[in-house]
Amino acid sequence: MTQLFTQNLGWKLLSLLLAVGLWLGIAREPEVATSLSVPVEFKNMRDDLDISGNLPDRIQLELRGPSGRLRRDNLSTVAAVLDLSDAQAGERTYNIRGRNLNLPAGVVFYRSVPSQLTLHFDQLAVKQESVQPLFVNKPAGYRIVSQQFSPAQVRIRGSEDRVQTIHQIKTDPINLSGVVGEQVFHTHLNIGDPQVRLVDTSSDITVSVKVEKILTGGAR
């Protein structure tokens, strides 16, 4: 047992002296308070939920501790991290506490403004919808005799109530002014709701359209 305490005694005494010196240095520093704006971060968010509504991306913290520990460079990585593993569809209020903050040693959390964040979670749904090209300025006396486009169907994802109101995905307007015969257009899909997004595909779409003159007195 004695050997356990005497082994590497010099290094142990040096470590003890350094620890005591560090403690004395911190103890002599004046205790101060500071206000700090920090980002709000989320972890363990469920894949089938989404956060809706206006959400502050930063909150204001009041912190206290030795003056040397409250330097801005020492607090540059502090963030408020909320664990959303218990979230369900609907509203959930989260209190901002010290355990939500990655504070440096010696810095103490006093309060935050706001002290709570109320989040609204939407249940997400995925639905497949057909694509419909939107043609404008078709020449007078002409008609569209064929159209081909890829993709013809896409999957969309968003909150259940928003997804259910969408029954067709249109393209950006395709201008047929001056088009005679067959022409290929490259344009984009427009879901019509900024809170609904495409799944597993880009918004690009290729449309091939054929325009022919209407013949008077004929089937065409």
Percent of the chain at pLDDT > 90 equals 60
Residue 139, pLDDT > 70, answer yes
Supply the mean pLDDT for the chain: 86
2 Cβ contact partners less than 8 Å away, ≥ 6 residues apart? none
| Cα–Cα distance, 154 to 203 (Å, whole number) | 10
Residue 120, pLDDT > 70, answer yes
**How far is CA 159 from each of CA 108, 121, 192, rounded to the nearest angstrom?**
39, 9, 14
Give me the residues paired with residue 94 across strands. 117
**How far is CA 86 from each of CA 50, 106, 199, rounded to the nearest angstrom?**
13, 30, 26
Give the residue-averaged pLDDT of 92-102: 94
Interstrand relation of 116-132 and 204-213 (parallel, antiparallel or unpaired): unpaired
Give the residue-averaged pLDDT of 195-209: 90
- Cβ atoms 201, 151 nearer than 8 A: yes
Q: Which of 220, 203, 219 minimizes the C-alpha distance to 211?
A: 220
| Cα–Cα distance, 212 to 24 (Å, whole number) | 90
**Is 43 or 15 the better-scoring residue by pLDDT?**
43
What confidence score (pLDDT) does residue 131 get? 93
Least confident of 28-32, 112-116, 138-142: 28-32
**Is 141 or 13 the better-scoring residue by pLDDT?**
141
- Under the banding of pLDDT at 50, 70 and 90, the label for residue 169 is very high
Residue 56, pLDDT > 60, answer yes
Residue 122, pLDDT > 80, answer yes
Question: Among positive and negative, which fits the CA dihedral 169, 174, 179, 182?
Answer: negative
**Domains, in order of start, for the chain:** 29-114 (2.170.120), 124-213 (2.170.120.40)
What confidence score (pLDDT) does residue 54 get? 81
- Under the banding of pLDDT at 50, 70 and 90, the label for residue 167 is very high
